[in-house]
Amino acid sequence: MDFKTEQEKFWAEDFGNSYIERNKGEECLASDLIFFSKTFNHIGKINSVIEFGANIGLNLKAIKLLFPKIQLFGIEINKQASIELSNVIGSENIFNGSIFDYEPKKKFALSLIKGVLIHINPNMLNNVYEKLYNSSSKYILICEYYNPSPVTVNYRGHSERLFKRDFAGEMLEKYNDLKLVDYGFCYKRDNAFPQDDVTWFLLEKC
């Protein structure tokens, strides 16, 4: 696989493989189930979701529990994660490659990205914004670390691997037909269903 950035290689290879083992299990699924039941509160029932950076499919598995008949599609750069993801949504519904190489061929009711934009090279963000936008017929759900201005944070001993900023705000400025529907924050110290300090933003195409 050819990579346009060092960050892609980072997630496609050994570090991405080890990430899988740190982020699986029934407790993670339970937290995701509660998380999406909140974020989908203003959406109602939808029939399709595409997730950018789906990993092993915990998010999509939680969404499928909420909407059993929903059509799911995932983009995942790590081969090992894609194999596990296929057990959730089927190999025919997976693009195993870089988000940068994915070309939207159809639209889904919701484009989802969770904990992925923070790991994208900032010079490539507009590329990802465009794919999120073009893949959605109605909603875009962005769930990331938030900061009002761009900052770079050391990530598990690695530099230039985690970037925080106002991703949703940048999309709202980029696309005039997007509006903010809802937003919220989930705390890593939540007593029952923690998330990793994620701030989420639900955007809608007008």
Instruction: Assign residue 43 the CATH number of its domain.
Output: 3.40.50.150
For position 44, what pLDDT does the model report?
85
Q: Would you state the pLDDT for residue 179?
A: 98
171 backbone dihedrals φ, ψ, rounded to 5°: -70, -40
Per-residue model confidence (pLDDT) at position 61: 96
What total number of domains does the chain contain? 1
Burial of 4 (0-12, 13-18, 19+ CB in 10 A): middle
Q: What is d(CA 154, CA 1) in angstroms, rounded to the nearest whole number? A: 26
The answer to the question of residue 127 being in a domain is yes
Encoded tokens for 8: 């892609």
Q: E strand or H helix at 39, and its extent?
A: helix 26-39
pLDDT for residue 22: 67
Q: pLDDT tens, position by position, for the chain (206 residues)? A: 778 898 988 888 777 777 776 667 788 899 999 999 999 998 988 999 999 999 999 999 999 999 999 999 999 999 999 999 999 999 999 999 999 999 999 999 999 999 999 999 999 999 999 999 999 999 999 999 999 999 999 988 888 889 999 999 999 999 999 999 999 999 999 999 999 999 999 999 99
Q: In the block, which residue shows the tokens 């639900």?
A: 202
Does a structural domain hold residue 72? Answer: yes
The verdict on residue 149 lying in a domain is: yes
**Contact between 183 and 200 (Cβ < 8 Å):** yes
Domain that holds residue 37: 6-205
Q: To 5 degrees, how large is the angle CA 114–CA 18–CA 146?
A: 25
What is the strand order of the sheet 48-52 is part of? 94-96, 71-76, 48-52, 108-114, 136-144, 198-205, 178-186
Distance CA 42, CA 184 (A): 12
Q: 155: how many CB neighbours lie within 10 A of its CB?
A: 15
Asked if the structure places residue 1 within a domain, the reply is no
Answer whether residue 192 is part of any domain: yes
Cβ proximity of 113 and 60 under 8 Å: no
Please report the pLDDT score of residue 130 as a whole number.
98
Whether pTM > 0.85 for this model: the answer is yes
